[in-house]
Structure 1
Amino acid sequence: MSHASGEPCLLAMDGGGSKTLLVLIDRRGTVLDVRRGGGTNPFDRPNWREEMAGLLADLPRGIVAAGFGMAGYGGSPAVSAGQEGMLAEWGRCPYVVRNDVDIACVGAFGGGEGILLLAGTGSMVWAADPDGHALRVGGWGNLFGDEGSAFWIGREALGTLTRALDGREPEAVSFIEPFCRFMGFPDDPGAIDSALLDWYGGLRHARSAVAELTRGVESLAAAGNGPARRIVEQAAAHLAGHVDAARRRLQRPALPWCEAGGAFRNASLRRAVIALCGAPVAPLLPPVGGAALLAARRAGGDPDAAWIAGLATGLTDAGLFGPASS
């Protein structure tokens, strides 16, 4: 799919920690072009500028407004200034820049009220009430937080493994053999220590690699492994705490919530969070759709429910929303 004409169009970008998606749409919400790149989170992607520059290169004429969702934006003033500086240098058109979880919330609720609970490599809530008040809960990164995230689950799995190997957590001994099998470690108990340290020493991007371990925890939890189930239950309690905090702070105990992020592919985790928070609502748009909605407004438009539904259909047909995008 490509778009080379100069007809008026909108640019939407969802820049996350693991991947970045850029979409061009026309004013009716029809998808014209799709570009994909690597992660652009300045906190753990030293080459984020190069990734963004590659996606923004050789764009067609006719872009009238843009919406950017950028990981890490709005937290550190220095990081945000760097992101704003790059966009100012690009300067092709009027634009809006928000945190990537903010645009996910805008997309999920069509710019209306609700709580977006993100559980991907990291964890975070973005919430908005009917009066336009917005707040963030979590999003502190793996050093300070990210409780309940895929990274947190993977780190807890490694901690459970090492404590069981040491004998510090004898009740978790049933975790050793199946989790080591998932990691491809030898069956010989005496060789596990060196295999684990070799794995650790060979990591290129530790945060992503640890987050990937959630797949093993999910598999073991689904099979009834007790230690794995405890990790999932603890992760769900942390994520539910994010939602509870947002509802309390906004004084809206029934504020609806919506899920986002790869950690929710863990069926056990999803069920446990629903048991604590109630059933989530279905998102109206994916995160990049939230960026498109902001771009449409920046261009002077007033997107209504029909426009949002049309955009959702276009993004679904392009494989960017719904079952085709999973």
Structure 2
Amino acid sequence: MYYLGIDGGGTKTAFILTNQYGEIIYRNTYPTIHYMQVGLNGITHIIREGLNDLLSVTGLHETLIDYAYIGCPGFGDIKDDEALIRDAIAHAMGPIRHRVGNDIENAHAGALQGYDGVCIIAGTGSIGMGVLGKKRIISGGWHHAFGGDEGSAYWIASHYIALLHKQMDGRHPQSSMFQFAVQALTHHFGDAAVNPDLIQLHNQRTHTAAFSKVVYTLAEAGDPYALEIFQRAASELIQIIRACCLEPDASVRVSYAGGVFESGNLILDPIKSVFPNTQAPVFTPDIGSVILAFKYADIPLSSRILNNLKTINR
């Protein structure tokens, strides 16, 4: 039998299929399945496309997939929408047994390998989850349009752009990196980025989030405004982690997922100063989805399965 993990993030959706021993059979990525970005029909279409590709490449019949776990961004944020998202996914999955949860659940399962603690996601968006025994708490994940997704790539990019605009119009003094930053902004977004009418950028969430990489480059080069934004981002993530703690800060095990953590010490050093038991993730979120597929199929994670999953994770 085979086990399918689907990890939906704010930018992309990862598919990973393993056999009963945790050996990889198929892996690929598709666009996000966040229903506020692609709609319910978009969820169905993207997951069905991924399944069709998987079955075509592997030559398997879908009845051979024993169980699948789908981590879906935005799932659970609005209770009235949960059934609609489940139906959209079920329509795509057909006869495959599956379970749907928020993408923080599989990120947590992967990063902490099922152990208690807090996992924080900071990718396109941000959200955290703490687990202690049967207790679970989620913090963050509020929609970016209302100032949520604090500390995420989108948050970092949009807040830096706001500071850059204040340098443009005289509200803040211009840093030594100002001209480079403006050139990078126009290269990324076009002339709209330096035009007061920015409404066309508001819905470009993924593209805006990608600009955070430029902000990181500026911070590494010493731009005080970029450094300020990363300090604020770390502070916001610390608040989310603290809200998820079900035990004292100094003892809680913390791990993480998402592209913002590629910024390394700019983000991790402030977090580790508050939460000294912060550790690198054991597995990526897509493998976390596979772990949950095994779990909900009542398949114990043997040392053979875990060793094979670790080989995939490299």
TM class, shorter-chain normalised? Answer: 0.7 to 0.9
Task: Name the SS of the counterpart of 2:128 in structure 1.
Answer: strand
Equivalences for residues 132-171 of structure 1 within 5 A: 132-144=134-146, 145-170=148-173
Percent of aligned positions with the same letter in both sequences? 27
Equivalences for residues 84-99 of structure 1 within 5 A: 84-89=86-91, 90-99=93-102
Q: Offset at 1:205?
A: 4.9
CA distance in 1, matches of 2:262, 2:199: 28
Q: Offset at 1:23?
A: 1.6
1:216–1:82: structure 2 CA closer, same or farther, 3 Å change rule?
same
Does 2:47 correspond to 1:44?
no
Q: Offset at 1:212?
A: 1.7
Specify the alignment match of 1:28 in structure 2.
Answer: 21
CA distance in 1, matches of 2:120, 2:280: 12
The 8 Å contact of residues 12 and 32 in structure 2, kept in 1 or not, is answered as yes
CA distance in 2, matches of 1:245, 1:306: 36
Q: Offset at 1:51?
A: 1.2
TM-score (norm 1): 0.84
Q: 1:69-117: CA deviations, max 9, x gaps? A: 1111122134321221123333323222111111110111222211111
- 1:180 equivalent among 172, 182, 185: 182
The 8 Å contact of residues 284 and 309 in structure 1, kept in 2 or not, is answered as no
- 1:257 equivalent among 248, 254, 257: 254
Task: Name the SS of the counterpart of 2:15 in structure 1.
Answer: strand
Specify the alignment match of 1:69 in structure 2.
Answer: 71
Does 2:48 correspond to 1:53?
yes
Specify the alignment match of 1:233 in structure 2.
Answer: 231
CA distance in 1, matches of 2:192, 2:35: 33
The runs of 5 or more residues in structure 1 that have no matched partner are: 1-7, 186-191, 316-320
CA distance in 2, matches of 1:96, 1:303: 18
Cα root mean square deviation, aligned: 2.4
Task: Name the SS of the counterpart of 2:35 in structure 1.
Answer: coil
Which stretch of the first structure deviates more once superposed, 201-210 or 291-300?
201-210
Q: 1:140-195: CA deviations, max 9, x gaps? A: 1212311111111111111101112222223x54453231132246xxxxxx9876
Specify the alignment match of 2:11 in structure 1.
Answer: 18
Matched residue pairs, number?
299
Does 2:127 correspond to 1:127?
no
Q: 1:202-260: CA deviations, max 9, x gaps? A: 6595211221221222112111121211111111111111112222xx13422111121
Specify the alignment match of 2:111 in structure 1.
Answer: 108
Which amino acid in 2 is paired with 1:309? Answer: N
CA distance in 2, matches of 1:256, 1:199: 45
The 8 Å contact of residues 165 and 194 in structure 2, kept in 1 or not, is answered as no
Q: Offset at 1:279?
A: 5.4
Task: Name the SS of the counterpart of 2:139 in structure 1.
Answer: strand
CA distance in 1, matches of 2:290, 2:181: 42
Q: Offset at 1:29?
A: 0.5
1:159–1:198: structure 2 CA closer, same or farther, 3 Å change rule?
closer
1:83–1:193: structure 2 CA closer, same or farther, 3 Å change rule?
closer
TM-score (norm 2): 0.87
The 8 Å contact of residues 124 and 206 in structure 2, kept in 1 or not, is answered as yes
Which stretch of the first structure deviates more once superposed, 283-292 or 255-264?
283-292
The runs of 5 or more residues in structure 2 that have no matched partner are: none
Q: Offset at 1:283?
A: 2.1
